[in-house]
């Protein structure tokens, strides 16, 4: 069962690894990211950030879609972390059970504008967010669980 899908450019770090997993009661973290799935050094670093007692799986977006749709992940209380709005969009397009996406962190770089303290978007991100919202997916910005969630559509 998917407990949360989160967009966070840092992928696995203190907020995700400890705060969110504890509040959600997750037992498995799926990092769905094409670049990470091909980078053994990055995978090793992410494994070091994993809280003890949790399963950590790192797969490409396509392999994640296949696993999620096959039912093999149904036995887990799953936190899915993706690196970008585009990755969240790709996942949500092919995994119908995704009904909510949490935006946690996206750094401010060229051609992006800040919509919250820790999240910046490009014009393309806004287009993809509108498409996901149009499909009925709730989009929230919330860095940490004890902070109030904000509707992304109000911010873009």
pLDDT interval class at 33 (50, 70, 90)? very high
**What is the model's pLDDT at position 99?**
96
What is residue 47's three-state secondary structure? helix
Nearest CA to 32 among 50, 3, 5, 54?
Answer: 5
Higher pLDDT, 91 or 53: 91
Task: Over range 54-83, report the average pLDDT.
Answer: 95
Active-site residue list = 13
| Cα(23)–Cα(26) distance, integer angstroms | 8
For residues 127, 132, 138, 140, the Cα torsion angle rounded to the nearest 10 degrees is: -40
Beta carbons within 10 angstroms of residue 97's beta carbon = 11
| Cα(73)–Cα(24) distance, integer angstroms | 16
| Cα(140)–Cα(129) distance, integer angstroms | 11
**What is the model's pLDDT at position 77?**
96
pLDDT at 17 > cutoff 80: no
**Does residue 81 contact residue 24 with C-beta atoms inside 8 Å?**
no
Side-chain half-sphere of 126: how many Cα atoms within 13 Å? 13
| Polymer length in residues for the chain | 156
**What is the model's pLDDT at position 14?**
74
**Does residue 50 contact residue 31 with C-beta atoms inside 8 Å?**
no
For residues 137, 140, 146, 148, the Cα torsion angle rounded to the nearest 10 degrees is: -120
pLDDT for 72-111, tens place per residue? Answer: 999 999 999 999 999 999 999 999 999 999 998 887 888 8
pLDDT at 24 > cutoff 80: yes
Domains of the chain: 2-155 (3.40.35.10)
């Amino acid at each position: 069962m998917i407990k949360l899908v989160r967009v966070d450019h840092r992928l696995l770090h203190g907020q995700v690894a400890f705060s969110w997993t504890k509040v959600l009661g997750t037992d498995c973290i799926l990092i769905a990211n094409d670049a990470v799935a091909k980078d053994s050094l990055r995978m090793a670093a992410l494994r070091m950030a994993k809280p003890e007692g949790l399963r950590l799986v790192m797969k490409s977006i396509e392999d994640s879609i296949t696993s999620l749709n096959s039912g093999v992940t149904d036995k887990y209380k799953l936190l899915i972390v993706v690196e970008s709005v585009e990755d969240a969009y790709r996942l949500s397009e092919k995994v119908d059970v995704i009904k909510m996406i949490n935006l946690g962190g996206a750094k401010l770089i060229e051609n992006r504008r800040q919509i919250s303290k820790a999240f910046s978007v490009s014009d393309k991100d806004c287009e993809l967010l509108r498409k996901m919202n149009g499909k009925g997916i709730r989009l929230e910005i919330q860095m940490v669980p004890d902070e109030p969630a904000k509707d992304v559509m109000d911010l873009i």
